[in-house]
Amino acid sequence: MGSLLPLSLFFWLVAACLGGGSARGRRAERVQGPRGSPPTPSGTSAPFWVRLSPEFAAVPPGGSVWLNCSSNCPLPEEPRLRTRLRLGQKRTGPGWVSYQLLDVRAWSSDVRCFVTCAGETREATSRITAYKRPRSVILDPPVLEDGKYTLRCHVTHVFPVGFLVVTLRRGGRVIHSESLERYTGLDLANVTLTYLWHAGPRDHWQPVTCHARFNLDGLIVRSSSAPVTLALLVRSPESKVLASTSIAALVGILLAVGAAYLYKRRTTTQTQS
Ligand SMILES: *[C@@H]1O[C@H](CO)[C@@H](O)[C@H](O)[C@H]1NC(C)=O
Ligand SMILES: *[C@@H]1O[C@H](CO)[C@@H](O)[C@H](O)[C@H]1NC(C)=O
């Protein structure tokens, strides 16, 4: 008896640690808004639930996704799907209907499914996120001029730009961070961040990196450039005049967002079923 208590305590602790693990933390945080109706008893009829799965889906912009609306209603009416997305194919089975949603371009879309069972209507919601991880994050070799480094970082083929944060770091230290929330375009884009950095003597010969990060409603996506060492590269005299005029007009930061080409990839569109 005396030895059983610590043992059960040990198991309890293990169970608590496993159950409260943080591996699912980020995903779990997302699951707040959309969810199916809970199976609650309603008057005389049997508990009735509606589910739309997956609750969260991430697709590349222009891609497609299948959502499955199911319920435990023995004789459901035809479910109704409410969405701004374009509907594609549909598959039906006992108690479920699976819908294909095409050409997802909005960074976030809510889809709702309504099922009516014996006069009672319940609904479930899914959220679809469209994003494209940068194809590349490239930091140009820094150029030193008048004691300042020009740091230029290119983030290519990225979406949605408005949720991107580009950060320049020297080692663990943040040199500069820029949130691009004012860009609301609905296409893939190339982003160039230019920053004039007044480096201290201890910064020379240190590796500098550029980081692109999304926070899409809790879904975190990160990409980084290869490190570039701060060498004492000085501009040639001809390019100097032009460079300093353009820099003077920029107040330190230049941000260029290239309009992306029309993103037609019907053929490569993902159609998981
Ligand atoms: C849809 O969900 C139901 C119930 O969970 C399942 O039985 C069915 O196989 C699913 N259909 C598809 C196409 O995934
Ligand atoms: C974006 O960058 C890529 C790679 O550098 C290039 O091929 C493409 O043409 C650029 N697109 C735009 C719209 O600037």
Q: Which ligand gives the minimal distance to the CA of 135?
A: 2
144 and 169 both lie in a single domain: yes
Q: What is the pLDDT of residues 138-148, one digit of tens each?
A: 999 888 888 78
Would you state the pLDDT for residue 184? Answer: 80
> What are 81-139's pLDDT values in tens digits?
999 999 999 999 999 999 999 999 888 899 999 999 988 999 999 999 999 999 999 99
Q: What is the mean pLDDT of residues 157-180?
A: 91
Return the ligand number nearest the Cα of 259. Answer: 2
Three-class DSSP labels, 230-247? CCCCECCHHHHHHHHHHH
156 Cβ below 6 A of ligand 2: yes
| Domain presence at residue 27 | no
Kindly give the number of the ligand 2 atom that is closest to the alpha carbon of 259. 13
CA of 47 to the centre of ligand 1 (A): 20
If asked whether residues 121 and 157 sit together in one domain, one would say: no
> Does residue 264 fall inside a structural domain?
no
pLDDT of residue 233: 53
Strand locations in the chain (E)? 50-53, 56-59, 63-71, 80-82, 86-93, 96-104, 108-117, 120-130, 136-139, 143-145, 148-158, 164-170, 173-179, 189-197, 207-216, 219-224, 228-229, 253-258
Per the structure, how many domains does the chain have? 2
Mean pLDDT value across the chain = 74
In a domain, 220, yes or no: yes
214 and 161 housed in the same domain = yes
Ligand 2 centroid to residue 169 C-alpha, Å: 24
Residues 110 and 66 in one domain: yes
**98 ligand 1 Cβ < 6 A:** yes
Same domain, yes or no, for 185 and 124? no
Given pLDDT bands bounded at 50, 70 and 90, which one contains residue 36?
low
- Helix residue ranges per DSSP H, the chain: 4-19, 25-30, 237-248
Asked if the structure places residue 211 within a domain, the reply is yes
84 & 172 share domain: no
Q: CB of 71 closer than 6 A to ligand 2?
A: no
From the CA of 163, how far away is ligand 2's center (Å)?
A: 20
Please identify, among 112, 130, 148, the residue that sits at the C-terminal boundary of a domain. 130
The pLDDT of residue 91: 96
Give the ligand whose atoms come closest to the C-alpha of residue 155: 2
List the domain range (segments joined by +) for residue 140. 136-235
Please give the number of the atom of ligand 2 that sits closest to the Cα of 157.
1
What is the reported pLDDT for 7? 34
Q: Give the burial class of 183: count Cβ atoms within 10 A of its Cβ; 0-12 exposed, 13-18 middle, 19 or more buried.
A: middle
Asked if the structure places residue 143 within a domain, the reply is: yes
140 lies in the same domain as 225:
yes
154 and 107 in a common domain: no
Where a domain ends, among 130, 162, 180?
130
Q: Is the CB of 185 under 6 A from ligand 2?
A: no
Of the ligands numbered here, which is closest to the C-alpha atom of 124? 1
Here the CATH number for the domain that contains residue 113 is: 2.60.40.10
Return the amino acid letter for 263. Y
Q: Are residues 114 and 147 in the same domain?
A: no
- Say yes or no: 161 and 229 in one domain: yes
| Among candidate residues 107, 130, 153, the one where a domain is terminated | 130
Pair (72, 124) in one structural domain? yes
Mutate to test the pocket of ligand 2, among 190, 192, 257, 262 (most ligand atoms within 8 A of CB): 190
Residue with the larger pLDDT of the pair 28 and 66? 66
Q: Are residues 197 and 150 in the same domain?
A: yes
Label residue 43 left, alpha or beta by phi (over 0 means left) and psi (-120 to 50 means alpha).
left
